[in-house]
Structure 1
Amino acid sequence: MTVLPDDGLELAGEFPDVPHEQWQRLVADVLRKTGKDVEGDAAEDALSTALEDGLRTRPLYTARDTAPAPGLPGFAPYTRGSRAEGNTNGGWDVRQCHTVPDKDAVLTDLENGVTSLWLSGIPVADLAATLDGVYLDLAPVILDAGAETAPAARELLHLYDARGVAKNAVRGNLGADPLAHEARTGASADIPAASLARLCAEEYPGLRALTVDALPYHEAGGSAAQELGTSLATAVAYLRDLTEAGLSAEQAAAQLEFRYAATADQFLTMAKLRAARRLWSRVTEVCGASGAGGQVQHAVTSSVMMTRRDPWVNMLRTTVAALAAGTAGADAVTVLPFDHALGLPDAFSRRIARNTSTVLIEESYLARVVDPAGGSWYVERLTDELAHAAWEFFQGIERDGGMATALRSGRLADDLAATWEARSKRLAHRREPVTGVSEFPHLTEKPVTRTPAPAPLSGGLPRVRRDEAFEALRARSDAHLAETGSRPRVYLAALGPASAHSARLVFAAGLFEAGGIEVVSEGSFQESGTTEACLCSSDAVYGEKAASTAEALRSEGAAHVSLAGRGEYPGIDSYVFAGCDAVGVLSAALDRLGVS
């Protein structure tokens, strides 16, 4: 290591220290101009953002925001990564998912940057044909066969043997995950996880037998802490089963690979994966399995965040999610194609998905630095707070009898449903905007169609999407268009000069279009062909013209007159404003317009 000479210069040494209290006073001065008379910590709290799990992100993080030392990459508690070199040795494993037998798609992926295969729901009889031409000693295979795990595992191992792959060269995962299968289907299955684990431990040193899949809980609406807590509870249940079957604690821990969702919330995703490694390190320490090393992670871009409308935006969402997962130290990253919510991906969407990781690794150089977020006061504090919230949720599951009991009693389903209900309200009020759906919708967009994908497993926990409430509204509008030849409409009455009405006109247009309601702002109300009108202007103009304009509109046939803004004005039936229940407002408007 090179030691630089002391030249007497100190970074920022000529600048005086600025006390945190001084910054808070400046914040308070600005907030006072907006009508908020707060000081000190209250001023800082006014700019904080509430997250799920009782967490809050503050506007400023400094050295006073302490967190436990994260350690070094490759060493316990593995917060900074399970490997000392992180992903600097060629980047993360680019793992793509295939849900139907398609040899050509598999080979195209492998020839163009994909480094491992995730086979989800491929029939056992089609495994050999799907993997025809694949160099099995070079491309790890991860199975996800649910109730067919045992026969799928036997078939895959037979393929390795038939193709002359040495047992010590086999890499991948047999995908045994009985609790995730039960979470998906509501029914238990005979998945011999312990015997598969014993086989791998004795004969296939590079092959793991079990997956701890947290996606069912994320996709049921769970929060980051709930996703982590359920993964820990699942892993602990598997450790108990494997050690009872004769494996040592270290052998059992070494058979597990964890699967998490990566979302477009970049920093929360980074904190989640870092916290997951720290929490698992604590579990293995307590169980006497520290020698198994750090948690092996497979991150998958979230299906909950994927939209069916304006699906091209999904490319941006998955890029941010993959960036977060890769820089957080995930061992493998799966980028779902942008058309994932619409059906089977085509060649173009698969290409974009695999190239997302390639660009991040090869062109953006994100794999050249180990844990680039390490040392960030914000990320370290968020990691610590999330770890504590997840540990508390995990302990609650354990107190109630463990993961299987939590699933079968309905306790876990209730917890996830409560979390999703609260989030659904934020989505409905557009406090959590969804670009292309609840914000900046594109009514004349040409629909993207795809071949239907195989039906996912069902019968257990629900699968939710952020776009579902607005998608239902848009579907009603589409059906109306198909039946009548036109969409439901609302007339926007702009009052006063452009400087007075422009902002609220744009707001109202975006709101109504999010529900599939076409806006008309040119010509007269009678020419608009609707019975619905909305006034758009400033508060000052409303005071002068709202009542008389509403009366005039009614005389022309308006059955319902709304106003963009707040207040109490004669003749106004309802108000639309930032933070209103957009789903409720739009659903009621469609009802009034006769849209079934």
Structure 2
Amino acid sequence: MDINKMKTTSFERVGLQEWKAKAEESLKGRPIDQLYKETYEGITLKPLYTKEDIDKKQSTERHSSKRDWKVAQRVTAEDEDSLPERLSTALTRGQDTVSFTDYNGSLSKNVMEKIFTLAIKEKAPLFHIASLDSEGFSLLKEGYSRLTGVFGADPVTDMVVKDSSETMNTWIEHITYLNESAPELRTIVVDTSSLNEAGANAIQEMAYALAAGVAVIEKLKKEGWTAEQAAGKLIFNFSIGSSFFTEISKLRAFRTLWKNVAEAYELNDTEAVLSAETSVFTKSKLDPYVNMLRAGNETFSAVLGGADYIHTAPFDEVSGTTSPFSERIARNTQLILSHESHLNKVSDPAGGSYYIESLTNTLAEQAWKKFQELDGNGGLIKVLRGGTLQNDIKLVFDRRQKDVAIRKQNLIGTNVFSNLEESPAGNLSSEQKQPPHGIKRQRLSADFENLRERALSLKDKPLAGLILLGKIKQHKARADFVSGFLAAGGIGVLPSRECLTVEDAAAFTEELKADYFVICGRDEDYEAMAKEILASIKREGRQIDLAGRLSKDAMEELQEAGLDSSIYLGQNMTEKLDALLRGWEGTSNEK
């Protein structure tokens, strides 16, 4: 075909049925249903979306004036007196927001004054999620009217504990004053990060945010505020997880839903202001450099979803400490997306995608139903006091945790492709600060981190001997699987030479003198050799497993011959690894 003919050639229009026919052909007899996937929100994702999937449904667009976002990296300092200087340095390196963390609420008035002065001098917006009793609120009343951005607190937790308190009343008094004296400063935060870190799905997060926003507005209306005033001081903070398209759609959908709430209150300004942070829930202390990739993926979602302020957590933050290197990489992640990828020049980068538009609409519909359910049950505060939302979130978390345990969901460097050569930083089993309303912050990798810590605490490194039956091509697949499986629990392996006879296997076990062995080979090799190998090597105190699973009858026959258990695809890894480590721990205690 010459170039002129190529230019004039057009493709025939293909319909959904033709696509299905081709898909079924490529699946070679397997059902097309295999291409469908159900999310933790209960939404079935299709392999193909077309114009019909968004026909007659609302498409969500970002407002053109909000196409850019603020780089709001939360700067920390071990010595609080150095925090203003660190913030000033960050502003020279690409950050455009005076954003900081005060973990203990202990920043002195002097340091806070320097931070506020810096924000005014550099004409940079402030961003800080404070506690209700932060001294910053009273300090802001002392002549910082030119501050912009966010210095806010989330009152929901205190509202759950008690309808009214001295702390709450004082905070309301402060923000009421600031409503006039610092008109460009938002002072009320609805923070959903605790839900995300408890394992909640996107629908639960959005419904909570809507219900919390309404609860705060109603609370302040009783204190003499108008709905317009209260809504004008709100900012919604979301954690962004690893489900790329769902997280994009979550933020886009929430903007639409908040417009519905704003219109119900007859507000003039119906736009929601959103901040986003990369999720702690998805991060691991094991193989921490992988967290760079996770955070990059999550930051990209936040940008495409339309967040106004974004914090990208340093890869080592989950271990309790950060370094100048990790902080720089985190900040530069956002700078690359804006200055190199030019996403700050596009109004709604995700707009027009049939998949994302459909997912956005579906999430919005389901989250609105959940919000109405919360409202129908007496509102968010009553629901939180009753514990029903916490129970619902725990059910989702349990599903997520099980999926990680059986490798239905992979955590690179944690439950798959684990690196036994690394030296984990920080305390692997350290606990996170928990909010008092029963929404427990957790991380998906925590169970594996605990297993690895147990393995490290043993006097002798736990090792498994791999009895490799036949030539390399006959045992390699299962041997590699077992090696990766055990590495996730901090257990190393010592492979045998090719065992072509029972005697080869027996010689290896005597040479190694280990307490745990795994036989790796093909099913036919098991049928031919496994019984004799078990009879030859089984000893008191020695555990022998099989790589893979045979039929029920075959497994029972081998168990009668001395086989203890097996390691196989789809097995609950944490339960199996826990049982193995308990064996070594018992031996270690006896010693």
Q: Paired residue for 1:525?
A: 509
Name which of structure 1's ranges 192-201 and 422-431 shifts more when overlaid on structure 2: 192-201
Q: 2:159 & 2:567 partners in 1: Cα distance?
A: 44
Amino acid across the alignment from 1:135: L
Q: Paired residue for 1:345?
A: 322
What SS does the aligned partner of 1:60 have?
A: coil
Q: Paired residue for 2:187?
A: 209
Check conservation: 2:207, 2:367, Cα contact below 8 A.
yes
Match of 1:502 among 476, 483, 486: 476
Q: 1:12 & 1:420 partners in 2: Cα distance?
A: 54
Q: 2:8 & 2:579 partners in 1: Cα distance?
A: 59
Shift of 1:470: 0.9
Q: 2:132 & 2:183 partners in 1: Cα distance?
A: 24
| 2:582 is equivalent to residue 582 of structure 1 | no
Q: 2:288 & 2:445 partners in 1: Cα distance?
A: 11
| 2:86 is equivalent to residue 86 of structure 1 | no
Cα deviations by residue, 1:409-448 (Å, 9 ceiling, x for unpaired)? 1122211111111211111111111111101111110232
Please list, as runs of the form range in 1=range in 2, the aligned pairs for 1:176-255 lying within 5 A after superposition: 176-180=153-157, 190-192=167-169, 194-255=172-233
Q: Paired residue for 2:130?
A: 145
| 2:23 is equivalent to residue 27 of structure 1 | yes
Shift of 1:19: 2.5
Distance 1:254 1:187, change over 3 A: closer
| 2:13 is equivalent to residue 17 of structure 1 | yes
Shift of 1:529: 3.9
What SS does the aligned partner of 1:53 have?
A: coil
Match of 1:270 among 221, 233, 248: 248
Name which of structure 1's ranges 510-519 and 240-249 shifts more when overlaid on structure 2: 240-249
Q: 2:16 & 2:56 partners in 1: Cα distance?
A: 22
Question: How many percent of aligned residue pairs carry the same amino acid?
Answer: 29
Match of 1:59 among 29, 37, 47: 47
Q: Paired residue for 2:530?
A: 546
Q: Paired residue for 1:490?
A: 464
Q: Paired residue for 1:536?
A: 520
Q: 1:31 & 1:189 partners in 2: Cα distance?
A: 65
Shift of 1:338: 0.8
What SS does the aligned partner of 1:52 have?
A: coil
Shift of 1:512: 0.5
What SS does the aligned partner of 1:462 have?
A: coil
Check conservation: 1:106, 1:130, Cα contact below 8 A.
no
| 2:95 is equivalent to residue 110 of structure 1 | no
Q: 1:47 & 1:462 partners in 2: Cα distance?
A: 34
Cα deviations by residue, 1:130-177 (Å, 9 ceiling, x for unpaired)? 56375222232233332414x32112343xx2xxx5x2x321223131
Q: 2:565 & 2:413 partners in 1: Cα distance?
A: 25
Match of 1:468 among 437, 446, 467: 446
Distance 1:309 1:14, change over 3 A: same
Q: 1:184 & 1:531 partners in 2: Cα distance?
A: 53
Q: 1:454 & 1:27 partners in 2: Cα distance?
A: 47
What SS does the aligned partner of 1:292 have?
A: coil
What SS does the aligned partner of 2:328 have?
A: helix
Q: Paired residue for 2:73?
A: 96
Q: Paired residue for 1:4?
A: none
Q: 1:468 & 1:413 partners in 2: Cα distance?
A: 20
What SS does the aligned partner of 2:381 have?
A: helix
Unmatched 5+ stretches in structure 1: 1-8, 72-78
Cα RMSD of the aligned pairs, angstroms, is 2.9
Amino acid across the alignment from 1:86: K
Name which of structure 1's ranges 494-503 and 258-267 shifts more when overlaid on structure 2: 494-503
Q: Paired residue for 1:49?
A: 37
Please list, as runs of the form range in 1=range in 2, the aligned pairs for 1:289-308 lying within 5 A after superposition: 289=267, 291-308=268-285
Check conservation: 2:72, 2:95, Cα contact below 8 A.
yes
Name which of structure 1's ranges 267-276 and 194-203 shifts more when overlaid on structure 2: 194-203
| 2:119 is equivalent to residue 136 of structure 1 | yes
Cα deviations by residue, 1:218-249 (Å, 9 ceiling, x for unpaired)? 11221111111111110010111223333332
What SS does the aligned partner of 1:533 have?
A: strand
Q: 1:56 & 1:415 partners in 2: Cα distance?
A: 19
Please list, as runs of the form range in 1=range in 2, the aligned pairs for 1:293-332 lying within 5 A after superposition: 293-332=270-309
Match of 1:123 among 96, 105, 125: 105
Q: 1:303 & 1:241 partners in 2: Cα distance?
A: 30
Shift of 1:449: 4.1
Amino acid across the alignment from 1:14: S
Match of 1:279 among 257, 267, 270: 257
Name which of structure 1's ranges 267-276 and 383-392 shifts more when overlaid on structure 2: 383-392
TM-score (norm. length: structure 1): 0.86
Q: 1:334 & 1:526 partners in 2: Cα distance?
A: 56
Amino acid across the alignment from 2:544: H
Amino acid across the alignment from 1:143: H
Distance 1:454 1:265, change over 3 A: closer
Q: Paired residue for 2:414?
A: 437
Check conservation: 2:112, 2:136, Cα contact below 8 A.
no
Distance 1:175 1:453, change over 3 A: farther
Distance 1:225 1:342, change over 3 A: same
Check conservation: 1:68, 1:384, Cα contact below 8 A.
no
Amino acid across the alignment from 2:93: N
Distance 1:131 1:262, change over 3 A: farther
Shift of 1:556: 10
What SS does the aligned partner of 1:535 have?
A: strand
Amino acid across the alignment from 2:10: E
TM-score (norm. length: structure 2): 0.87
Match of 1:358 among 302, 317, 335: 335
Shift of 1:215: 0.7
What SS does the aligned partner of 1:490 have?
A: strand
Name which of structure 1's ranges 279-288 and 515-524 shifts more when overlaid on structure 2: 515-524
Amino acid across the alignment from 2:131: G
What SS does the aligned partner of 1:431 have?
A: coil
Shift of 1:308: 0.6
Q: 2:389 & 2:118 partners in 1: Cα distance?
A: 42
Shift of 1:55: 1.0
Cα deviations by residue, 1:477-528 (Å, 9 ceiling, x for unpaired)? 0111xxx1x3211112222222222221111100011011111113522333
Check conservation: 1:535, 1:564, Cα contact below 8 A.
no
Unmatched 5+ stretches in structure 2: 498-507
Distance 1:16 1:32, change over 3 A: same
Q: 2:95 & 2:482 partners in 1: Cα distance?
A: 45
Q: Paired residue for 2:501?
A: none
Check conservation: 1:99, 1:122, Cα contact below 8 A.
no
Amino acid across the alignment from 1:136: A
Check conservation: 2:263, 2:270, Cα contact below 8 A.
no
